[in-house]
Amino acid sequence: MASAVAVRSGHPRVALGCTALRMASARNEGTHQMKTPHLHRTDAAQFGKYLLVGGGNTALTLIVIIGLKSGLGINPWVANACGYVAGMINSFLWNKLWVFHSHSRRFHGEALRFLIGFGLCYAVQFALTWALTRMMGEAEWQLPGGFVMSPYGLATLIGMGAYTVCNYLYNRLVTFHR
């Protein structure tokens, strides 16, 4: 491990290095080390790619919805469903091939796990957004530029953040796990 700085406080020794965080505890027989998860540059780059794909999916979803609803006069709920289906397909393909570099031949299995992950993470997001909206009541906040933030709006932003992290972890650890 590259240049590490050791900090001693009581029995545990915490060593901070350039690429890893490790905790070691001394025992009578010797030292046992427990590795904890750590973030590599490649992890941060992968998460950055995931966020770019998410931004592209959001744009594609909106373009399809607006194009179908406003351009072709299709029912707004049908346009909404079509937009989300287009975004989901786009998301799966970009995440599979570019973000997680999965070249598995089990396409249908990955697609099914991807859909399950979407459902689970959407449920987490929905429950969090609903609970926060109820907890915050009817208050509204004035924002710069004349914008107003409602409890639902703030809860939605927090829920979207939770969805993003939850879905990234699910896809990394389950859907496209090698």
Looking at the structure, do residues 95 and 151 belong to the same domain, yes or no? no
Looking at the structure, do residues 50 and 27 belong to the same domain, yes or no? no
Q: What total number of domains does the chain contain? A: 3
Looking at the structure, do residues 111 and 156 belong to the same domain, yes or no? yes
Please tell me the predicted confidence (pLDDT) of residue 64.
92
Please tell me the predicted confidence (pLDDT) of residue 13.
32
| pLDDT tens per residue across all 178 residues of the chain | 343 333 333 433 333 232 232 333 333 344 445 445 555 678 889 989 999 999 998 899 989 989 999 899 998 888 888 988 998 899 999 999 999 999 888 899 999 999 999 999 999 988 998 899 999 988 888 989 988 888 888 888 899 899 999 999 999 999 998 7
Question: Rounded to two decimals, what is the model's pTM?
Answer: 0.66
Per the CB < 8 A criterion, the answer to whether 33 and 22 are in contact is yes
CA distance 161 to 54: 12
Looking at the structure, do residues 71 and 121 belong to the same domain, yes or no? no
Expressed as residue numbers, the domain containing 22 is 5-35
Please tell me the predicted confidence (pLDDT) of residue 171.
93
**CA-based R_g, the chain, Å:** 22
Looking at the structure, do residues 126 and 175 belong to the same domain, yes or no? yes
Please tell me the predicted confidence (pLDDT) of residue 10.
40
Looking at the structure, do residues 94 and 153 belong to the same domain, yes or no? no
Looking at the structure, do residues 92 and 112 belong to the same domain, yes or no? no
pLDDT tens digits along 159-168:
989 999 999 9
The residue among 78, 101, 124 that closes a domain is 101
The residue among 101, 119, 145 that closes a domain is 101
* Cα dihedral 164, 108, 79, 100 sign: positive
Pair of tokens at residue 76: 């707004």
Looking at the structure, do residues 114 and 87 belong to the same domain, yes or no? no
Please tell me the predicted confidence (pLDDT) of residue 4.
37
The residue among 52, 75, 101 that closes a domain is 101
Looking at the structure, do residues 168 and 110 belong to the same domain, yes or no? yes
